[in-house]
Amino acid sequence: MSGFKDKLIDTKQAWAKAGRLLTGTTAAPTERLPPGQRLVKDWPVLDLGVQPEITPAKFFLDIGGAVENPQHLKLDDLMALPQEGSVSDMHCVTAWSRYDNHWQGVASRTLLDLVRPLPDAKHVIFHSHDGYTTNVQLDQFADDDVFLVHHWEGEAISRVHGGPIRVLIPKLYLWKSAKWVNRIEITTADHPGFWERNGYHNNANPWLEERYSA
Ligand SMILES: Nc1nc2c(c(=O)[nH]1)N[C@H]1C(S)=C(S)[C@@H](COP(=O)(O)O)O[C@H]1N2
Ligand SMILES: [Mo]
């Protein structure tokens, strides 16, 4: 576990040196909006067209793979974990951004502390009820603005936005934030997800305009 934390800190220091953390909500207003984005006030819906209805009884979340302590969580288990609020921006590759979204949920760090990734774990793959998958690096998932969210602007996240629980990774284009998530797989190797195999960039940093793969 301490090895894992050290690795995270090393990564973050490397990012800081490279200026990678200079964007985001604490940046100057002129840097807050990534290139090519325009602001919206509403929250558009985008997905593969299947919007599964996940009742509380149907809900589960498996977290496994390269971890010491895999979990099978029901909705009550997840809600019994520490709950946190967070405010962050959303950036969609279809060029809309929405500022100051108020979220409630469970921090990715809380889940990682629970499952304890193995020292060689480096990647995360999200699997969803509609068959969607998407991949990120473990240190991107471990960032302190990443949550499994269940409330947005004080209201339960609706079915079309991935309710009752979805992933939120604010510093990446929104296709990396899986709706209707049911499995978080931690791996040693990278496994590109649905859009990443279909022309989207593997890393998805909006400030670098990592929209599409070359
Ligand atoms: N399970 C699932 N998650 C998904 C998708 C999907 O089709 N299925 N679409 C992704 C894409 S391409 C985008 S842009 C965002 C849109 O989230 P929203 O509909 O809440 O705005 O969800 C992402 N997460
Ligand atoms: Mo998207």
Burial of 101 from C-beta contacts in 10 A (0-12 / 13-18 / 19+): middle
* Structure confidence at residue 22 as a pLDDT band (50, 70, 90): very low
Taking the C-alpha atoms of residue 65 and residue 68, their distance in angstroms, rounded to an integer, is 9
Confidence (pLDDT) at 31? 85
Instruction: Tell me how far the alpha carbon of residue 68 lies from the centroid of ligand 2, in angstroms.
Output: 33
CA within 13 Å, CB half, 190: 10
Residues with CB under 6 A from ligand 1: 43-48, 92, 128, 130, 132, 161-162, 174-175, 177-180
Instruction: Tell me how far the alpha carbon of residue 123 lies from the centroid of ligand 2, in angstroms.
Output: 21
Instruction: State pLDDT tens for residues 83-132.
Output: 999 999 999 999 999 999 999 999 999 999 999 999 999 999 999 999 99
Cβ contact 164:42 at 8 Å: no
Q: Which CATH architecture has domain 2-208?
A: Alpha-Beta Complex (3.90)
Closest ligand 1 atom to residue 49 Cα is 7
Domain-wise residue ranges, the chain:
2-208
Instruction: Tell me how far the alpha carbon of residue 14 lies from the centroid of ligand 1, in angstroms.
Output: 30
Closest ligand 1 atom to residue 128 Cα is 1
Taking the C-alpha atoms of residue 174 and residue 49, their distance in angstroms, rounded to an integer, is 16
Closest ligand 1 atom to residue 160 Cα is 19
